[in-house]
């Protein structure tokens, strides 16, 4: 029994393939592929419609298989969507009948039996058609397939669906009852996903492509949008549902349904280990970002360049999962004129996808990326990690060359957390005592600036262990709590000037910091006289509150980058410095909003109405609450 499932692959992505004789990966629209060695067969040989990829989508692969390949069963699926060969495993289907999985990897392939050729063949041979479990449209608040197309179709035209129905009534009236039943019914089959016996597949393909050819004659799509131009592909999904309904109504056919797998990430793993960009005097620096924060990383990079030593080479890695290509190019342009700077972007989506990592409204999943560093950048035994919301005032090579001995991390005491746990908030002290179980509860570091002993961390933890520990803990400060717990007793405490918190003294955080042990707080205030790295770690970001203390340090650097207009647009008002000259001038207090409104907004974020912290602050500090809590 020869079963072939043709998997439609995009020509612009290097996706994982399922390696066996059942699944046949095919490049969709291969006629447009200019790669010298694409690595898989294309849909542009023999009789084909490869050139219609932009309108027919994966149906060009179906057409190619129909015209050029011999098999007993023909199937079609998508590089991101497969059928699961666990017939009874439907408990995790979402409302669109997808069984969502983080990545297409060996474990997922094994778990859903995609690697078991004999079992797949044996299962398929029991049926004439196998397809996905249908979407029950009442679960997604839709009355019918027609309504779903009309209301949810992205930039689609309901008249196109009506033209398709007219063609069926005129050319294939025997299919009209099935068409009416399906289009006005509440069960939908999406994605052009199926496996059919040879005779049915050939009959279906002849019927399908004849209808679509007639549709193209009747409808001018020349001025359609990019998505609307894909209408033949969208109609193909509905035509499969009609054909399947026709078989159901005819009776006598063996029809099977399986859960539909949807893989969020299908990128191939990195083919080779990452290597240093420079042969000598290399200062490796790692940052994490997303598209939203990329502009601030650019400011941090500019500040590094402003203080970099010409004798050093700076090898910078930005870990991400979504930064656009044009944004990457703009960031690389920041260092383009500096021959001793290299910036590389590493997409870690596949490494992080399998974990259910706790996020907070103001702290995204990117914070966990630093847990990937030991194995991801194993080429380095020692690295720096820097957050993106900071500016550098001194050559970071000095920080890198700090001797931390055999300690696992070099870090700066988090003076704000020291204040929180040293008397300001008993609940936080209890959390650190009972959940984190630190020996000295106020002695925690901020993970925004780190010297990482990569060798030592690799010897003690795998990446999987670090991420699973963070996942299971669902900690308050995510990866920072994870590292504080696991690395306790192996920390080299750095000069606080290397991670100075830019918290205004009269702000909420500034007040909390005064609860820290006296020596820690005095060292923090001493660092304020000459900070080497200014870290905007709190909610008082300079692009939101440009009038706050230390904000001008940020703006003076931001004004030098091509991202200056983007950063200006982040403010709540047009109150940030409007010119580079203003940004580089003397320290100025900007007042885009009244102090009362500003402090009230800040209080609502940090001291929610009804919270214990709000009531405690009201009781402890009446003078301050008149300005903040009750404003």
Q: How is residue 423 annotated by DSSP?
A: I
> Is the Cα dihedral 378, 384, 388, 392 positive or negative?
negative
User: What single DSSP character describes residue 134?
Assistant: P
**Integer Cα distance of 135 and 146 in angstroms:** 14
* Alpha-helical segments (H) within 184-324: 198-218, 231-250, 294-306
The reported pLDDT for the residue numbered 618 is 52
pLDDT of residue 373: 93
φ, ψ of residue 139 to 5 degrees: the values are -70, -20
At residue 601, the pLDDT reads: 42
Residues of the chain with pLDDT under 50: 572-606, 608, 620-631
* Angle (CA) 378 382 385, round 5°: 95
Tokens of 258: 């399986």
Q: What angle do CA 609, 613, 617 make, to 5 degrees?
A: 100
pLDDT attached to residue 31? 95
Angle between helix 294-306 and helix 325-334 axes, rounded to 10 deg = 10
Contacts (Cβ under 8 Å, ≥6 apart) of 403: none
Cα 53 from Cα 82, distance rounded (Å):
20
**DSSP conformation letters of 192-210:** S-EEEEHHHHHHHHHHHHH
Distant-in-sequence, close-in-space partners of 440: CB < 8 Å, separation ≥ 6: none
Q: What's the rounded Cα separation, in Å, for the pair 617 and 222?
A: 65
Beta carbons within 10 angstroms of residue 299's beta carbon: 26
Closest C-alpha among 367, 364, 476 to residue 428: 476
To 10 degrees, the CA torsion angle through 484, 489, 490, 494? 80
> Which residue in this structure is represented by tokens 């020291």?
418
Q: 126-137, pLDDT tens digit by residue? A: 999 999 999 888
The Cα 574–Cα 436 span in angstroms is 43
Beta strands at 129-132 and 255-258: parallel, antiparallel or unpaired: parallel
Rounded CA-CA distance 617/609 in Å is 12
Supply 234's token pair: 């969208």
- For the entire predicted model, the pTM comes to 0.66
């Amino acid at each position: 029994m020869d079963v072939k499932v043709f998997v439609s692959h995009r020509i612009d992505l290097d996706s994982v393939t399922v390696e066996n004789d059942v699944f046949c990966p095919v490049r969709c629209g291969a006629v447009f592929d200019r790669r010298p060695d694409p690595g898989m067969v294309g849909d542009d040989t023999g009789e084909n419609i490869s050139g219609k990829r932009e309108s027919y989508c994966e149906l060009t692969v179906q057409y190619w298989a129909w015209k050029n390949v011999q098999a007993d069963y023909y199937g079609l699926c998508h590089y991101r969507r497969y059928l699961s060969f666990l017939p009874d495993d439907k408990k995790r289907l979402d409302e669109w009948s997808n069984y969502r999985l983080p990545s297409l990897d060996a474990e997922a392939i094994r778990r859903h039996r995609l690697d078991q050729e004999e079992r797949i063949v044996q299962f398929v041979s029991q049926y004439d058609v196998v397809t996905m479990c249908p979407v029950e449209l009442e679960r997604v608040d839709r009355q019918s397939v027609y309504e779903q197309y009309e209301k949810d179709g992205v930039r689609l035209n309901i008249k196109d669906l009506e033209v398709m129905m007219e063609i069926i009534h005129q050319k294939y009236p025997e299919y009209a009852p099935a068409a009416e039943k399906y289009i006005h019914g509440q069960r939908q089959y999406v994605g052009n996903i199926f496996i059919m016996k040879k005779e049915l597949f050939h009959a279906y393909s002849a019927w399908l492509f004849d209808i679509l050819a007639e549709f193209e004659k009747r409808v001018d799509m020349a001025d359609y949008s990019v998505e609307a131009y894909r209408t033949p592909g969208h109609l193909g999904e509905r035509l499969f549902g009609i054909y399947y309904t026709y078989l159901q109504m005819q009776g006598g056919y063996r029809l099977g349904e399986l859960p539909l797998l949807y893989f969020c990430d299908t990128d191939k793993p990195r083919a080779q280990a990452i290597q240093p960009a420079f042969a000598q005097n290399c200062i490796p620096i790692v940052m994490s970002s997303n598209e939203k924060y990329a502009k601030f990383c650019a400011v941090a990079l500019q500040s590094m360049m402003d203080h970099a030593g010409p004798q050093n080479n700076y090898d910078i890695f930005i870990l991400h999962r979504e930064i656009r290509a044009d944004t990457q190019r703009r960031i690389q342009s920041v260092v383009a004129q500096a021959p001793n700077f290299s910036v590389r972007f590493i997409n870690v989506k596949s490494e992080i996808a399998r974990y259910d990592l706790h996020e907070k409204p103001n702290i995204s999943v990117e914070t966990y990326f630093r847990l990937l560093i030991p194995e991801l950048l194993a080429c380095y035994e020692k690295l720096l990690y820097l957050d993106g919301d900071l500016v550098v005032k001194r050559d970071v090579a000095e920080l890198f060359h700090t001797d931390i001995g055999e300690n696992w991390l070099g870090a700066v005491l988090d003076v704000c957390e020291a204040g929180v746990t040293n008397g300001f908030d008993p609940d936080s002290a209890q959390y650190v005592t009972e959940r984190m179980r630190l020996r000295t509860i106020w002695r925690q570091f901020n993970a925004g600036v780190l010297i990482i002993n990569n060798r030592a961390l690799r010897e003690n933890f795998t990446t999987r262990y670090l991420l699973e520990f963070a996942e299971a803990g669902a900690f308050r400060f995510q990866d920072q709590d994870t590292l504080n717990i696991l690395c306790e007793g192996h920390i080299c405490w750095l000069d606080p000037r290397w991670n100075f918190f830019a918290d205004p003294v009269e702000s909420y955080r500034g007040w909390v910091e005064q609860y820290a042990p006296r020596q820690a707080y005095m060292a923090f205030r001493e660092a304020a006289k000459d900070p080497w790295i200014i870290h905007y770690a709190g909610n008082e970001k300079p692009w939101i509150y440009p009038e706050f203390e230390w904000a001008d340090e940020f703006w003076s650097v931001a004004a030098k980058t091509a991202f200056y207009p983007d950063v200006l647009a982040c403010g709540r008002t047009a109150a940030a410095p409007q010119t580079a000259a203003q940004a580089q001038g003397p320290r100025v207090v900007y007042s885009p909003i009244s102090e009362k409104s500003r402090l009230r907004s800040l209080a609502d974020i940090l001291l929610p109405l009804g919270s214990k912290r709000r009531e405690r602050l009201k009781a402890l500090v009446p003078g301050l609450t008149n300005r903040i809590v009750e404003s």
